[in-house]
Structure 1
Amino acid sequence: MFEAVIWDFGGVLTSSPFEAFARFEAERGLPADIIRRTNTVNHLENAWAKFERAEVDIETFDRLFAQESLALGAEVRGKDILPLLAGDLRPEMVEALRRIRAKFKTGCITNNLPANAIGSAGGRTLYIAEVMALFDHVIESAKIGLRKPDSKIYRMMVDALSVDPAACIYLDDLGVNLKPAREMGMTTIKVVSARQALAELEAATGLSLR
């Protein structure tokens, strides 16, 4: 039934940055969820969206995010939250990707930031590159000027993989990004935890992934 499994990256193959956001807010005495709320207001055209499409540079992003968060009750500099985005790879999800790859086409659609926006620590960049090499095709928002949930980015992926959307499984940790994929006909899995996602993926593919 299925021919391809398409993955989000952050929050799926890595731990969610939301945990880091919460720690940052608590340490700074900021209102709970101020970062996530800033990201969701006008989510198609806010500072975050523009930065992920590489429409603004880091200085402009820093200023715009500060203005947008202040409007919600507390100023948070954009530059201060960028280091919070580098989650840890989930080894069990990477192993599942390896097993999936043996049977299915694989793709990754990631809303990311312009190169060097976050920086790297130690050998992490090489490790990430090894994981990215497991995909048949990768689409990065900052490289193409489009980001999820724009339906065009999903269409680009199915065209690149030469598959029908109905033959695809798509995993993402954000419901807003799953909706367009589901509307195209994909089977979607919302990643709440690695364990839950793997159970649903095993049920859908019939493979043992752990």
Structure 2
Amino acid sequence: MNDYKAIIWDFGGVITSSPFEAFNRYEVAQGLPENFIRTLNATNPDTNAWALFERSQISADEFDAAFRSEALDAGHDVPGRDVLALLAGDIRAEIVAVLDGLKARNYRLACITNNVKTSNDNAPNPGMARSAEKARRVSDVMARFELVIESSVEGIRKPDPAIYQLACDQLGLAANQCLFLDDLGVNLKPARDMGMGTVKVLNAAQAIADLAALLGHELP
């Protein structure tokens, strides 16, 4: 059994419900093809509007126009601002309870999130909250982490191996002392290749069970 010292978490789709659910509801309401937004985000994934925005290489207004242009090229009119409004999921209380349980067992907690600045004021927004109340709840969760690495702040994003190495360096730990949870397999592969333990999050109950199995003890 590995002797993990730190548990590193993705945010959206792990600590919160997946924005993909909101994407799908929007697509149905707008008469768009199923998974249109995800497909667009997966096209030219290192250079498209989404990638540039997550690295803070374009502003919110520029993203709005650039995403819309990409959508129009794919045959549908979807303003980028509409997508931004869908990003902030609901916090999963059972995952927050696990964070508290891990902290009580003296695990170190960190977060690596691909996020965007949802306004043009360059303010960090790790949970991409769209209201003051949601921002308060996100801030309460974020206070549990000793380290939060945001793509929009660092200018690098998952799955670039550099962002995982940055986390290890700042924690002062080797990769094999860290365990990483994410809802996207493409983001888990570089972490696993470095030597981290990994959990692919499909839902909260499964993630908690898989994490407990790797740690070798029960979780809240």
Bin of the TM-score, shorter chain as denominator length? over 0.9
CA distance in 2, matches of 1:182, 1:73: 37
1:12, 1:193 → 2: CA distance? 8
Question: Are 1:75 and 2:85 counterparts?
Answer: no
Q: Any stretches of 5+ residues in structure 1 without a counterpart?
A: none
Letter in 2 for 1:177: N
Match of 2:191 among 181, 187, 194: 181
Q: Counterparts in 2 of 1:156-171, with a 5 A limit?
A: 156-171=166-181
Correspondence for 2:111 among 79, 98, 108: 108
Kept in 1: contact 2:180–2:188 (CA 8 A) = yes
Percent pairwise identity: 48
Q: Which whole-Å CA distance do the structure 2 matches of 1:115 and 1:42 have between them?
A: 22
TM-score (norm 2): 0.91
**Aligned counterpart in structure 1 of residue 153 of structure 2, from 143, 146, 162:** 143
Judged with a 3 Å threshold, the aligned counterparts in structure 2 of structure 1 residues 119 and 189 are, in CA distance, closer, same or farther, namely: closer
- The number of residue pairs the alignment matches comes to 210
Structure 1 window deviating more from structure 2 (60-69 vs 112-121): it is 112-121
Query: 1:88 aligned to 80, 87, 90, which one?
Result: 90
CA 1:12–1:119 in structure 2 vs 1: closer, same or farther (change >3 Å)? Answer: closer
Q: CA deviation at 1:115?
A: 5.1
One of 37, 40, 43 as aligned partner of 1:38: 40
**Structure 2 match to 1:191:** 201
Report SS of the residue matched to 1:24. Answer: helix
Cα shift at 1:70: 2.3
TM-score normalised by L of structure 1: 0.96
- Contact in 2 for aligned 1:14/1:89 (Cα 8 Å): yes
Is the Cα–Cα contact under 8 Å of residues 103 and 109 in structure 2 kept in the other structure? yes
**Which residue number in structure 1 is paired with residue 22 of structure 2?**
20
Q: Which amino acid aligns with 1:138?
A: V
What secondary structure sits across from 1:94 in the alignment? helix
Match among 168, 173, 182 for residue 172 of structure 1: 182
Matched AA of 1:107 = A
RMSD of Structure 2 on Structure 1 (CA): 1.3
